[in-house]
Amino acid sequence: MDIAMALGIKPSAMMSLEEEQLKYYQALPNITFDLGSVETLMASNNSGFDKEVFYEVDADVHLMDPRILKRYSGWDNAEIEEIERNVGPILGSLIRFPYDRDPYYTLYEAFEKAAKIFQRQERYDAWVALKDEVFAEIQSRLPDNKPTVGAFIIDFDVESKSFRAGEIYAFRNDTRTLRKLGVNSAFKGDSYVRYKKIGYEKLLDVDPEYIGLTDNLTTADNESFQQTLQAAKNHETLSELTAVQNENFVRSAGTNMGPIIDLFSAEAVAMQLYPNEFGEWPGSIGDVPTELQLFDRYRVVDIINGEI
């Protein structure tokens, strides 16, 4: 969705859509998103798909990975081909992490392909220029000594007894923000593609300076994050961690990363890791004071609207 939105195209339907995913667009001036106008193709991970909804939406193109569609729908190749033949092509590739042995695209490689599909190359070029400019500015202000971050994928349930750890520098997109800001990975060398479950003992042994909550910036608000932090501080074992004692948690985007979310995530992480340089993080992307914003919201809107 975020790739299409960056090109000025709002979706007619989504696999699933939660209200919290819209916070990034609500933080942009004059960008509206009517949730009621978007059809949901799948009510939950266990509900399956109804092909009739695909026919009703009648989309020109489906930006979704056919492998993922097959996995959650249980459809065979003939059913996939039916939708492509009677409705529209399915053109997508999972970019959260490499899937199977097929080609894996970085965020901007996938973005460029989408721009070609929609014939909006000028907007893509403008995004590349803006992205390069923003990250160059951020990276020029980073200190030489970067902190060590233990990144955790999907969630960080303090009572789970095991956590899904991610290697920041593995070939994956959901840890992009931490990688672009050059932090040290607490799990460096553990080059697992998706995630690896680790327990309390391993976590205490690693004892990272920061705990990185990948995707928490999207899926949670500041209030629920504070509850997670407090639960960790009250936990018999996790309270021994340096990051917990110092309240060194960093929230980033991940799962639904696209060009728009990419910039908000970079700004949020920079402020959380380096408040002396970038200013205190207010807890919400919508509350960053104008003078501390690391990218121009109005310029983003102009690119989205094609006013380049």
Tell me what pLDDT residue 167 has: 87
- Dihedral sign, Cα of residue 171, residue 186, residue 24, residue 55: positive
Tell me what pLDDT residue 193 has: 46
pTM (predicted TM-score):
0.94
Tell me what pLDDT residue 157 has: 84
Which pLDDT tens digit goes with each residue over 247-295?
Answer: 999 999 988 889 999 999 999 999 999 999 999 999 999 999 999 999 9
Q: Please indicate whether the domains covering 2-131 and 141-304 agree at the CATH topology level.
A: yes
- CA-based R_g, the chain, Å: 20
CATH architecture of 2-131: 3-Layer(aba) Sandwich (3.40)
b/e 156-182 (16+ beta carbons within 10 angstroms → b): bebeeeebbbbbbbbebbbbbbbbbbe
CATH code for residues 141-304: 3.40.50.1980
Tell me what pLDDT residue 45 has: 57
> What residues form DSSP beta bridges with 245?
none
**For the chain, which residues score pLDDT lower than 70?**
18, 43-48, 101, 189-195
If you write DSSP's letter for every residue of the chain in order, what string do you get? -HHHHHTT---SEES---GGGGHHHHTSTT----GGGSEES-SSTTT---HHHHHHH--S-B-S-HHHHHHHH---HHHHHHHHHHT--B-----SS--TTS----HHHHHHHHHHHHT-HHHHHHHHHHHHHHHHHHHHTS-SSPPEEEEE-S---TTSSEEEEE-TTSS-STTHHHHHTTPEETTTT---SS-EEEEHHHHHHH--SEEEEETHHHH--HHHHHHHHHHHHHSTTGGGSHHHHTT-EEEE--TT--HHHHHHHHHHHHHHH-HHHH----SSGGG--GGG-SS-HHHHHHHHTT--
Tell me what pLDDT residue 118 has: 95
Tell me what pLDDT residue 15 has: 80
Tell me what pLDDT residue 68 has: 87
Tell me what pLDDT residue 50 has: 81
Which pLDDT tens digit goes with each residue over 230-243?
Answer: 999 999 999 999 99
Return the domain boundaries, the chain.
2-131, 141-304
